Amino acid sequence: MRILSGIQPTGMPHIGNYFGMMKPSIELQDQGEAFYFIADYHSMTSLYDAQSRREYTQQVAIDFLACGLDPKKAVLFKQSDVPEHVELSWILSTVCPMGLLERCTSYKDKIAKGLSANHGLFAYPVLMAADILIYDADSVPVGRDQKQHVEVTRDLAGKFNQTYGETFRMPEPRFREGAGTVPGLDGQKMSKSYNNTVEIFGEEKPTRKRLMSIVMDSRTPDEPKPDAEENRAIQLIKLLADEATYREEVEKLKAGGYGYGDLKKRLFELYWEYFREARERRSELMNNLDYVDTVLAEGAEKARSIAREVNQRARKACGLE
Ligand code: ADP
Ligand code: TRP
């Protein structure tokens, strides 16, 4: 089985990225041939600072490795080191009906959030389809918000195959059980573009402050909270704690006499503990950046040899060769 996923270098990776994409990807590295890339071409649709792009690209690689990506098992690379993605994206765009892109909600959401309506942002699902199809991927571990993009990918693979003959393998999205969309500090989807994130490796003080700033309702500590499961802090605790701890926190809120301040302190403790080991690995990696560069360079070479082959298959199918 071939597994593939990507993450954009548009900010520091956050716990939404971790539970939605990084953790499932790391778990899958034992189950097949895994390819994970840093989507720097994609990041150009919303980030316009060259130095930030370089830094975030390196940070995403470091965080992924710190969280347990093993470069002996999974191929980690930077998207733009494999420029064949862009050629395939053009090829696919010629079989992509406008309506398919017009229906994509993530484009509309991003425009509503104030991102500029450029062509790259609109055409982004086509590049994503190329990213996936160029590795003959079977399985794509992503957060729920990417479901529609994987559907576009399947549509485009079908359209191309229908037009030029069987060329691409049909990928399946893979969502992590129970981890729909991780809510951000403001209750919306946690996202680097919405300034509502909890970084995986945030510094202690600022992260505590951020978690303490989660806005709650105005009920007093004494009041029982029968809707405890809806609470934002509780939803994060569900991801960070074992089942028994989670239940305990829910019951305390339901019973009353447990204030939001104490709840948020508990949330911070659980978060800090959850990433403790990874944090140690990360500080070693930060002192060994040459190693990180080598992982990416070797990854690019492995990825490129497959991408070249599949891209050539597509070129032949449509008569470019
Ligand atoms: P962001 O929205 O923060 O810019 P990306 O678009 O780079 O994140 O997403 C990288 C991966 O992380 C994708 O697979 C995406 O589905 C997942 N992801 C991002 N935010 C969340 C979230 N809040 N909950 C679950 N998964 C998420
Ligand atoms: N669009 C994805 C996101 O914003 C990132 C991405 C780009 C991706 N290409 C991909 C994910 C291919 C999976 C497969 O999160």
Judge whether 169 and 135 are in contact, CB under 8 Å. no
| Architecture of the 2-182+289-318 domain | 3-Layer(aba) Sandwich (3.40)
* pLDDT tens digits, 64-112: 999 999 999 999 999 999 999 999 999 999 999 999 999 999 999 889 9
Q: Kindly indicate the confidence band of residue 198, based on its pLDDT and cuts at 50, 70 and 90.
A: very high
8 to each of 94, 182, 215, 243, how far by Cα in Å?
25, 17, 28, 31
45 to each of 42, 115, 160, how far by Cα in Å?
6, 9, 25
Q: Is residue 187 scored above 90 in pLDDT?
A: no
**Where do you find CATH 1.10.240.10 in the chain?**
202-274
Q: Is residue 181 scored above 90 in pLDDT?
A: no
**Torsion over CA of 238, 239, 243 and 249, rounded to 10 degrees?**
-30
Q: Cα 215 to the chain's mean position, in Å?
A: 25
Distance 39 CA to ligand 2 centre (A): 7
Closest ligand 2 atom to residue 141 Cα is 13
> Would you say the CB of residue 85 lies under 6 angstroms from ligand 2?
no
Q: Is residue 49 scored above 80 in pLDDT?
A: yes
- Sheet-wide strand order for 33-38: 74-78, 33-38, 2-7, 139-141, 172-174
64 to each of 25, 67, 194, 196, 200, how far by Cα in Å?
10, 5, 21, 21, 10
* pLDDT tens digits, 259-272: 999 999 999 999 99
Mean pLDDT of 279-304: 98
> Would you say the CB of residue 38 lies under 6 angstroms from ligand 2?
no
Judge whether 89 and 134 are in contact, CB under 8 Å. no
**Where do you find CATH 3.40.50.620 in the chain?**
2-182+289-318
Q: Kindly indicate the confidence band of residue 258, based on its pLDDT and cuts at 50, 70 and 90.
A: very high
Q: Which residues pair with 78 in a beta bridge?
A: 38
> Would you say the CB of residue 128 lies under 6 angstroms from ligand 2?
yes
| Architecture of the 202-274 domain | Orthogonal Bundle (1.10)
Q: Cα 249 to the chain's mean position, in Å?
A: 28
Catalytic machinery residues:
110, 189, 192
Q: Is residue 177 scored above 90 in pLDDT?
A: no
* pLDDT tens digits, 10-48: 999 999 999 989 999 999 999 999 999 999 999 999 999
Q: Both tokens of residue 52?
A: 């930030």
The total of other beta-carbon atoms located within 10 Å of residue 99's CB is 7
pLDDT at 193: 76
As a whole number of angstroms, the distance between CA 72 and CA 260 comes to 44
